[in-house]
Structure 1
Amino acid sequence: MSPKRLVLIDGSGYIFRAYHGLPPLTRKSDGLPVGAVSGFCNMLYKLIKENRGEDAPSHLAVIFDAGAHTFRNDLYDQYKAHRPPPPEDLIPQFPLIRQATRAFGIHNVELLGFEADDLICTYAHLAVQQGFEVTIISSDKDLMQVVNDHVSMLDPVKGTHVGREQVIEKFGVPPELVVDAQALIGDSTDNVPGAPGIGIKTAAQLILEYGSLDALLKRAHEIKQPKRREALTDFRDQILMSRELVRLRCDVPPPCPIEEFALKDPNAAELGAFLAEMEFTSLARRVGGSLATLETAQAAPRDLTAPVSKPLFGTMAQVSAPRPATPEALLTPVDYSAYQCVQDIEALKAYLVQCRAAGVFAVDTETDSLSATASGLVGVSLSCAPGSGVYIPLSHQSDDGGLALSGDEFKQIALVEALAELKPLLEDPTVLKVGQNIKYDLSVFARYGIRVAPYDDTMLISYVLEGGLHGHGMDELSELHLGHTPIPFKQVAGTGKSAKSFKFVDLKPATEYAAEDADITLRLWHVLKPQLAQKRLLTVYETLERAMPTVLSDMELAGVRIDPQVLRLLSQDFGVRMGEIETEAHTVAGHPFNLNSPQQLGAIFFDEMALPGGKKTATGQWATDVKVLEEIAEKGTHDQGQRLARLLLDYRQMAKLKGTYTDALVEYADPQTQRIHTSYQLASTTTGRLSSNEPNLQNIPIRTLEGRKIRTAFVARAGHKLISADYSQIELRLLAHIGDIGQLKKAFQDGIDIHALTASEMFGVPVEGMPSEVRRRAKAINFGIIYGISAFGLGNQLGIDNQEAGRYIKTYFERFPGIKAYMDAAKEQVKATGYVETIFGRRIHIPDIHAKSAGQRAFAERAAINAPIQGTAADIIRRAMIRMPGALEAAGLTTTMLLQVHDELIFEAPEAEVEAAKAVIVEVMKHAALPALDISVPLEVEAKAADNWDEAH
């Protein structure tokens, strides 16, 4: 019988060796970082090529780390805590490396909760029991404890064999005592503490002298050297914990049997497709064939459902690989007759094979309502090539509740059966899924137990490329980039009284509408994704946008709990107050009138009271909007008019709070859980800030007592607390950094009251004992400057004339000249390029800078001043949100992120976790800019926990 030889490759070691050992490399077509992927593939190729003949392995597997958090983090929360996150350009390469392993026909294995080393140890142990000789390819010294007569290591860096003698040379002890020695030595790389002051030589001497760590600790009092004796006795528990941290598990549940690691030739089609997609021309040529011949072979049709088996190092001339989409293919008119309705499981399986072979496909969901957190899944559409598309109906019905008919007798795949086929592909880390506003689809699939990854979002790619220039909905992008107007939803579902849910749409129009969505989405991806690299915006997309749909989907699905009784009581209070205001307003006016009638209000103010300055609207009525009422209330000379204007402003605020929040929020809440599931919009602002709707939780007033009362209705569930974590004055801090304002930077670094400092600089008033009115004026200037405020605007805020306000602004610029320089530079940049940038590279286009109207141009200049600051703040909180779930999980916490409101994040934490969660949250938020940028002023975060949102803020 042929010898059984198992080779286990330490995947992490290969990855980081490939990344750090080679210069950066990007894919030419779109700028995707692929240097580590290239190095990894070349190492795999070299390994297989050089291990042939009698010494060739019979079984081979690559073992990866599944995640940062393992059982060791539960034993010791500082385990590997000081390790920096992976380089940002390496992160998108992780799934590609797993895809590369599979493309070479090699099994890759990983298991959540355990390190790759634990799996390697387990498989080595099992393999020896089954009669294998095992070689571990790794330079990780921790794996030396696994070495025995049947298990050896191969150091890929030095190319040297590691057996029993080499382990003794390294540690001074044989493999079976390595764990005991490491428990004393510790490991600075993994933050294992060990015994203070005991190094590798002393550890070996002690372990060999006493025979084992247990014996050494038992007889530690006999040791003559005081420092050694104290280290062993005083830190006994720490040493024993260290032993558990360094000891590898050999009893991990193996994800798959060793038999599946049997080395075989790869699927030539899959390997060829992968090399073509990565554009690894040289490697493809060495393997056999070239990308040119691969593309030529595409013309010959093949059965994608049939297995393909070709020698790994033979010719690849017959391999069919997906061809890059040509401009002609992308702009080919939509042929609705080419779209297919998939109604049986075999047809679905066949199309999924094509999607897997393509390596990238578009996916879209159709649902029975607009709510991603509550709707039912009606169907799924897919497209793996421009011009093609399928629709998979799952829950269509007739209007009377029976099955729908469309031409031939209706048939659809059972929902559970179809999802069972879709799930492996949608979760496959080696296949890219493309969506348009994919956050919606992620939420829908998540509710059916499917976590879609990895993915691209054409809406977000467009947003990064041209934020501020146009909308980013699919229809608009299709018309803009493809010259095609997609079928409008109302054409298939009707409008007004005839509108119906998509589940009642007949299959023919449903197929045309849904499959077109997938087809257009894939075409847009081919058009837009390469532009990220061309415009040097790939990093912006990868680090600020790509992960956000998953983060927000999880937040939306979690929802935030409300107390309906609090809201009902507030509604009653607001209603009573509105009635009181109405009575008082009638008294002031001298007669009853409708407080909601602009016509009647205009007549009272400008006809009966004859107030000056009234303006009429296009309809001929007097204008009585908020701005008019505020001007009358603040600057009017008519006492009765001022009083009435103030009453009307209070009335409108009460009406808004009651109608928009206290009444509406109860209706939005899930009747079973009393949780509200808002929907966040990722691409609706020009600066990168998020907005929310259904309901909008971003605009609940916080500066009024009534607004804060509404926040008391947002509560934690039993046994939990809400944690509010808020950046303190982040935009002023960023102004200090971006404008390089020495005085402001020093004030923030020293923890000085920034508004008091500004007042002292401007008005010559000592900080100590400063009148509150003087500080208030400085505060208005500080925040006004961020928004490019004019003398007129500042005068309105402070209640002073324009000349005095102008002097304030002039003095401010004299005291802080860097701010004026920053503002001038921002205006010059937007005039020259049409956009400004955040410090992370996000481009914010401001097309009105070239408008004919002087007023529009002036507004655009103010936007150019504010956008880099507000946009950078938005970028920072996005970076914090992206890292937060992983950081909480790595800390062993179950705390959940629920809401984002401007510069604030809200969490729900079990009471026992509150303090630990606050520490993690603050740490992540404070250092969110790293490692990309080191902000020159500290980002301060205030975190507080309470039973409701108001008390936590």
Structure 2
Amino acid sequence: MDPKQHLYLVDGSAYIFRAYHRLPPLTNPEGTPVGAVYGYTTMLWKLADDLNKADGPTHLAVILDAGSKSFRNDIYEEYKANRPPPPEDLRPQFPLIRDATRAFSLPCIEEQGFEADDLIASYARAAAEQGWNVTIVSSDKDLMQLVGTCEKGGGKIDMLDTMKNQRIDIDEVVEKFGVPPEKVGDVLALMGDSVDNVPGVYGVGPKTATKLIQDYGDLEAALAAAPEMKKSKLQERLIEQAEQARLSKVLVTLKEDCNLPMPIEDFKLDAIPPEPLAAFLSTHGFTSLLKRLNGGAGSPERATQLNPAKPVTAGAGPAEGAARQSPPEFPALDYAAYECVQTLEALQAWVDKAAAAHLVAVDTETSALDAMQADLTGVSLAIGPNEACYIPLGHGGSDMFAEKPQQVPLDKAIEALKPLLENDAVLKVGQNIKYDLNVLARYGIAVAPVDDTMIESFCLDAGRSIDGIGGGHGMDELSERHLGHKPMAFKDLCGTGKKAIPFGEVPLDKATHYAAEDADVTWRLHAVLKPRLSEEGGTRIYERVDRPLIPVVAQMERHGIKVDREKLAGLSSQFAETIGALEAEIHEAAGQEFTIGSPKQLGEVLFDKLGYKGGKKGKSGQYSTDQSVLEKLAGEGAQVATKVLEWRQLSKLRSTYTEALQAAINPKTGRVHTSYSLVGAQTGRLSSTDPNLQNIPIRTEIGRQIRDCFVADSGNVLLAADYSQIELRLAAFMADVPSLKEAFANGEDIHARTAQEMFGTVDRDTRGRAKTINFAILYGISRWGLAGRLGVEADEAQAMIDRYFERFPGIQRYIAYTLEQVRERGYSETLFGRKTWFPRITSKNQAERQGSERAAINAPIQGTCADIIKRAMVRMQPELEQAGLGHVRMLLQVHDELVFELPEADVAAASQVIERVMASAAEPAVKLDVPLGVEIGSGSSWGAAH
């Protein structure tokens, strides 16, 4: 036998799901979904090219799963029972993927009753016993059992992880599992697999499983030694669950003696006839791949000489580095095609065209960024690619004697635009259209209905970057990412700094190019993004949660909230006095005066002069004095560090709130109008700016004093409605923890219940610790992080984490399952279908990977919280109006809290409606078996309402 024979076995099933989750859904000319087909084809193409550049195969086959059931289901009925059925739009793509494989003239192997892994194992073993080398193209941990040299024939089996561009040999298997390949099945049997529903031994994770096999040699030896082990939970479980472990070993062991559906020799890799591949690409509209095929230098001599696809970046997450089908074929943006509308007749013609089109992209140009104070400078419209105009309304400079260009009078323009922008039969599309809604509302126009490209992008791609372009949702970034076009920059027209001019002073030709381009780009982005919502499962979260929230939040911003300027000024003076006193105390404790706000000087005082241990210098050569460093020193009794922490907090609160809030008062309304972002937090939570009301300390005396400055108008009160422990309630439901669900159903103190479960007693200390643990676990905290929060050693913190998981095993299962899902799919998902992408979840950088894992654990819970309160906000005004309380105004949303302003006489009636709406906000989309508690209070100020 020729020693150069080298068989490559491609795990096609893994390719399918990777392609499906990495690429946007696409359809072929017949309307059949083909996103996964396109991704699969591209990945197979790239593999062929990469192999040609390296040590290419002599034989190659693609192995697929024939169905969802195998002989393992006969052994264990619950095998893979946790796996959801394939998505509806993926099912019709399975036969097309087989067609794609055959279009490459490659063998496509599958067998009913067996998994792809078993066929791979059987072919790999048969080839290796004939002396062939075998490479399995996969990263599946189960297949790592096969790696090594075959004793019988001498053939070598290794693996190729194309995602990481990494070969997996014996050393890599040992590095991952701590045991050689032939012992991997024993480790897997002990630890189980939550994705495949392999039971394993409860509570035994990868590290424990590895140590047991290292210590005892194999599974049976470990089980036999269990009675003699030191008495512990592990010993009990090994004894009680021995048969479960043996069953798991059967489930994870690959079958290496399957009947081979096709002889190995038939896998010989010969020249690829280009005609079948070209026909396949043409049939499904894969024009970019077809051009690549036709652009090659004649027919390929062998399969691996195809022109290369765009390379996948090594180590990229599931959402990065993927080839993507081209967006719709738009003509290049043409500034010359844009119209500057300067007469009422021309404006009316555009209004008529937009009404006939039933969809128009809208953008406003203003004199300032504050929507509540900015003057309208102009409006741009677009009804198609390059069919865009700009309507100047406030151009000509600020000098009353300056010559102004011809433009439609503002009142006439508003009169002409109002019927169009309020027409229910015309969809208005904007990029961050909430801003435009607020600007136009001040001119008497209630824009509706609306779509927002920024929010469409957020519902599709929150957290991921695409084709090397960042993951933001601003128009410029979206345009570059989806249209390949870099829009004109505002600063190029208006300049920056002291030389900047207002947009109203920009010449009309340049202003038209800039403003009409914004509308044109927005129209094109909507044409790209809106279809993806239905294709990628984003419609539910967009249509039921985020889109209807746009006008609600806009109205809240317009309402604003009153603040007591005098009280703020007094509090600011009080803070200033305290800050001055703290400075004196810090200088006295340090033995010298220095600039407290200078990290360099503070570091030198702490570590050089006072000699505290633990100082670390960064690349700049100065000591780190961040929050964690100071908290550690304060815990060790460093008075200077304690006082500096107080000084920093007060200084920040003074500058951010007591001073900034006074400056933020709108002179016309006398109220503060914060701006909410619907895309500011990756998990879907609202964030606020100008001013930021999210970071006011919640439970401190200082925070209460600041909230006391937010007040109701005369004759009214403020009402605060707050979800009680909603994250813990959702965790109990999503992780299915009976004891926690029971506690919530009975109205128990959940932290006291946890303290009783964890420590066997409830007092102030144990309840406080239980509260910290309850929330920390949901954020994926490490032993070191928990140790820092509780002030204990890392081992003690780990013991608490272990005990928590022992008492609430559902939480541990939830965390494991969530991480498995995110690693496999690249994203987490809330109960309402909101996706958050984690492209660094498989990063080689430990800090990046662990940070993504912590965020991924919490994202489904925190995101579901955000979805629920958003649903409550959308439903609130109609329910209040139906109850005759339409005058109640919703002013603020902060974390899990809603703040309202209303007459004091209506508090009782409004409270009933508000509580009912908030408590039932998840329904009917999601039926919770844990009640959502709502706490309501009222008073003359926000602080008094708590």
Instruction: Normalising by structure 1, report the TM-score.
Output: 0.64
Q: For 1:559 and 1:878, locate their aligned partners in 2 and report how far apart those are by CA, in whole Å.
A: 18
Alignment partner, residue 617 of structure 2? 616
Cα deviation, residue 399, structure 1: 5.0
Distance 1:672 1:416, change over 3 A: closer
CA distance in 2, matches of 1:573, 1:535: 54
Distance in 1, matches of 2:367 and 2:736, equals 53
Q: Residue in 2 aligned with 1:669? A: 665
- Kindly indicate whether residue 906 of structure 2 is the aligned counterpart of residue 913 of structure 1: yes
DSSP-derived class of the 1:841 partner? coil
Task: Give 1:537's aligned residue.
Answer: 538
What residue number does 1:465 align with? 460
1:92 aligned residue: none
The answer to whether structure 1 residue 381 and structure 2 residue 368 are counterparts is no
Structure 2: distance between partners of 1:947 and 1:559: 16
Does structure 1 conserve the Cα–Cα contact (< 8 Å) formed by 2:869 and 2:918? yes
CA distance in 1, matches of 2:720, 2:397: 48
1:809 aligns with 2:801: yes
Equivalence map 1:334-483=2 (5 Å): 334-402=333-401, 410-469=405-464, 470-483=471-484
Q: How far apart, CA to CA, are the structure 1 residues paired with 2:403 and 2:545? A: 44
CA–CA distance in 1 between the matches of 2:360 and 2:602?
A: 59
Structure 1 residues 511, 529: CA separation in 2 closer, same or farther (over 3 Å shift)? same
What amino acid does structure 1 have at the position aligned with 2:643?
L
> In the TM superposition, what is the alpha-carbon distance from 1:331 to its structure 2 partner?
3.0
Partners of 2:403 and 2:361 lie apart in 1 by: 27
Q: Residue type of the partner of 2:399?
A: D
Query: Does structure 1 conserve the Cα–Cα contact (< 8 Å) formed by 2:590 and 2:610?
Result: no
**Separation of aligned partners in 2, 1:398 and 1:571:** 39
Write the distance in 2 (CA, Å) between the matches of 1:400 and 1:901: 43
CA distance in 2, matches of 1:593, 1:535: 57
Alignment of 1:452-601 (within 5 A): 452-469=447-464, 470-601=471-602
- Matched residues in 1 for 2:643 and 2:671: separation? 35
Match in the other structure for 2:919: 926
- In 1, Cα distance between equivalents of 2:559 and 2:418: 22
Determine the structure 1 residue equivalent to 2:140.
Answer: none
Q: Matched residue of 2:551: which SS?
A: helix
d(CA) in 2 for partners of 1:622 and 1:350? 66
Using the TM superposition, give the Cα deviation of residue 404 of structure 1 relative to its aligned residue in structure 2, in angstroms. 5.0
Comparing 362-371 with 602-611, which one deviates more in the overlay?
Answer: 602-611
CA–CA distance in structure 1, aligned partners of residues 712 and 394 of structure 2:
36
Segments of 4+ moved more than 6 angstroms = 27-30, 326-329
SS in 1 for 2:387: coil
Deviations 1:372-417 (A, max 9, x none): 1111111000001112110000111225344556xxxx21001110
- Measured against aligned partners, the alpha-carbon deviations of 1:683-741 in whole angstroms (never above 9, x if no partner) come to 12110001110110111112221121010000000000000000000000000000011
Matches within 5 A, 1:165-204: none
8 A Cα contact 1:887 1:920, kept in partner: yes
Among 934, 938, 947, the alignment partner of 2:931 is 938
Within-5 A mapping of 1:828-839? 828-839=820-831
CA–CA distance in 2 between the matches of 1:585 and 1:350? 70
CA distance in structure 2 between the partners assigned to 1:562 and 1:812 by the alignment: 44
1:826 pairs with 792, 809, 818, which one? 818
Q: 2:327, 2:483 within 8 Å by CA — same for their partners in 1?
A: no
Q: Deviations for 1:798-846, whole angstroms, at most 9, x for unmatched residues?
A: 1000000000000110111111000001100110011010001111111
Question: Contact 1:363–1:383 (CA<8 Å) still a contact in 2?
Answer: yes
Matched-pair contact (CA < 8 Å) for 2:755–2:766 = yes
Matches within 5 A, 1:9-158: none
8 Å Cα contact 1:404-1:504 kept in structure 2: no
SS of structure 1 residue aligned to 2:907: helix
Q: Per-residue deviation at 1:592?
A: 2.1
Q: Within 5 Å, give how 1:706-725 maps onto structure 2.
A: 706-725=702-721
Cα separation, 1, equivalents of 2:515 and 2:329: 18
SS in 2 for 1:724: strand
C-alpha separation in 2, matches of 1:539 and 1:822: 24
State the Cα distance separating 1:887 from its structure 2 match: 1.1
Count of residues paired in the alignment: 620
SS at match of 2:840: helix
Provide the rounded CA distance (Å) in 1 between the counterparts of 2:738 and 2:807.
11
User: 2:937 corresponds to which letter in structure 1?
Assistant: K
Deviations 1:834-884 (A, max 9, x none): 101000111111111022201211111111110000000000000001111
RMSD over aligned CA atoms reads 1.8
1:611 and 1:557 mapped to 2: Cα distance?
A: 52
Are 1:727 and 1:942, in contact at CA under 8 Å, matched by a contact in 2?
yes
Could you tell me which amino acid in structure 1 is paired with residue 746 of structure 2? Answer: D
CA distance in 2 between partners of 1:390 and 1:892 (Å): 44
Is it true that 1:751 corresponds to 2:744 in the alignment? no
**Secondary structure of residue in 2 paired with 1:951:** coil
Contact 2:327 2:482 in 1 (8 A): no
Match of 1:444, SS state, is: helix
Counterpart of 2:642 (choices 646, 653, 663) is 646
Residue identity matched to 1:862: R
CA distance in 2, matches of 1:687, 1:946: 32
- Paired with 2:862 and 2:418, the residues of 1 have a C-alpha distance of 39
- Identify the residue that residue 281 of structure 1 maps to in structure 2: none
- The separation in 2 between residues aligned to 1:28 and 1:858, in whole angstroms, is 36
CA distance in 1, matches of 2:421, 2:929: 42
- The one-letter amino acid paired with 2:869 is I
8 Å CA contact 1:432, 1:455 repeated in 2: yes
**What is the correspondence of 1:789-938 to structure 2 with a 5 Å cutoff?**
789-893=781-885, 894-938=887-931
Q: Deviations over 1:307-339 (max 9, x none)?
A: xxxxxxxxxxxxxxxxxxx98875321110000
Q: 1:867 to 1:723 in 2, by over 3 A?
A: same
Say if 1:458 and 1:940 are closer, same or farther in 2 by CA, change over 3 A.
same
* Counterpart Cα distance in 2 of 1:494 and 1:916: 54
Distance 1:777 1:832 in 2: 34
Q: CA deviation at 1:673?
A: 3.2
Alpha carbons of structure 1 residues 716 and 28: separation in structure 2 relative to 1, 3 Å: farther
Q: Distance in 2 between matches of 1:403 and 1:932?
A: 59
Question: Which among 695, 700, 707 is matched to residue 704 of structure 1?
Answer: 700
Structure 1 range deviating more: 859-868 or 578-587: 578-587
Task: Give the gaps of 5 or more residues in structure 2.
Answer: 1-25, 32-324, 465-470
Preserved CA contact (<8 Å) 2:599 2:624: yes
Q: Alpha carbons of 1:736 and 1:472: their partners in 2 closer, same or farther (altered >3 Å)?
A: same
SS of equivalent residue, structure 2 residue 936: strand
Q: Is the 8 A contact 2:708 2:943 kept in 1?
A: yes
1:378–1:516 distance in 2 versus 1, CA, 3 Å: same
CA distance in 1, matches of 2:490, 2:801: 52
Q: Deviations over 1:651-675 (max 9, x none)?
A: 1111111111101100000134320
State TM-score, norm by structure 2.
0.64
Write the letter of the residue equivalent to 1:946: G
Q: Whole-Å Cα distance in 2 between the matches of residues 774 and 588 of structure 1? A: 34
State the Cα distance separating 1:912 from its structure 2 match.
Answer: 2.1
Deviations 1:415-457 (A, max 9, x none): 1101111111111111111111100011011111111111111
Q: Deviations over 1:146-183 (max 9, x none)?
A: xxxxxxxxxxxxxxxxxxxxxxxxxxxxxxxxxxxxxx
